[in-house]
Structure 1
């Protein structure tokens, strides 16, 4: 991971306007890691410049901010506010100390437009390379969430089939469309897959079964 690899004329950014790839609300709260591309970092202009300027401490501060940005909203951004940045960079109340480190620690960061940001939200900063990492992490998160949803849905339909068979509705249990409709009704009404709930769902989506007397007359 190396924010300084992106040149000041990075093609993703046109003029002063940069539409950040993630929206407000796209977060990674449960993530506690991010990739660190060691060779890119060690050979970066950022590290070379900080060492040349005898500002090695800014490298550590930058690492803290890169890490902190992953927990922000959206992931990979930072608030453009010195008081908040001082906290994220572990300067605490020493805002003056943070301001001295700001130029080096925020090397490569720039103003970013955040879609769906609430009215009055603080301006936010982003970095093209950190943004790519955050976007990839968010895609992985969505993929895992989708996988869990698919598995949960398959389990729900399997339970519906089982309850239908237990209730002597084997033919309906083998009807994929019917099982899907029953499972959807239960999900939409936030109900557990119980025998009684499945019966109610079946009668609702398929209509109550007709009862016929032995002499052929309807009851």
Structure 2
């Protein structure tokens, strides 16, 4: 099951009522549907649930809303991080449910290169195993967004995929100080500049840190 519950009350824009707001509280109806489906199928379906929402879900209601999200999926108490700030990527486990989340910028995915940043939380809950971290974090080969005609589209596997031998089955790591360069070169269709915006294999990825 995939769902992106209403974000209006979680967004940094607005009154920020959080999950108690009339719109964003629909999140709990999705959780109820998941529970009823699993009850009706003796815990068989759904096996995987994917939730997507705005970055504001990390901070709304004094950062307690995201805690509530994690607790709703795992049906167990989740402690706040020592920093009292939710990391942009992480995982928790409770009652046989694995939950992993990651903040991704939608402008780097899909058929079109977006002019603006659209950072979204993607959370995966695995009710039948321990595959959530594999789904969220496992490195995969990438598809190029550049074509000879200057338009973004998905090409054939031969022409658009980065060589798995060269990439070593790893997603290139983005250095924080080069994010602006990545955005500008993508907008300008500067392929060489875009690829140089990536760090080397094994470089640290600061968004994984629990530090604020």
* Higher helix residue share: 1
The normalised TM-score by structure 1 is: 0.21
The normalised TM-score by structure 2 is: 0.22
Q: Could you say which structure has the larger radius of gyration?
A: 1
* Higher strand residue share: 2
